[in-house]
Amino acid sequence: MLKIKNQRIFLPAFIQPLGQNNLADSKKELAKPKLDLLQPLRQWLDEIEIQNQKLAKFIAKLIPAQCPFERDIKLFGRKIGHIPPMCKLNPLYNELVYLRFRALCYLVDQCGEDIQSYC
């Protein structure tokens, strides 16, 4: 019971307890398979095998090491704002970063190349 300005409000009248029916409905909603339209593209990116040096260099140059959208906004030499990195909003971010990592690993392990220029 809550007392506000001499008026009494009974909370149980407004809050519906979680019963067996509601619990079963919530479990059904969680168990429903969600349609992922990007799954085939994710799978394709994960299955790309890097087998030559040209492809590995191309991927390492194409996919940036850091988010290119993160910026500090400066006016007269003073920082007045910050734009946060938005790469995490990309639904394929993890797959692209992993592809770049595999390309860099190929360049180091198979080709013996120095990858500092890509970082």
12-38 pLDDT, tens digit each? 555 555 555 555 566 666 666 678 888
Strand runs labelled E in 1-119: 2-4, 7-9, 71-75, 78-83
- Residue 47, both tokens: 């299955």
State residue 13's pLDDT score: 52
pLDDT digits (tens, 9 = 90+) for 63-109: 988 888 888 889 998 999 888 888 878 888 899 999 999 999 999 99
**Residues ≥6 apart with Cβ < 8 Å to 96:** 45, 63, 90
Q: What is the pTM of this model?
A: 0.63
State residue 51's pLDDT score: 92
CB atoms under 10 Å from CB of 59, counted, come to 21
- Residue 80, both tokens: 């007045």
CA dist 73 and 70 (Å) reads 10
> 2 pLDDT exceeds 50?
no
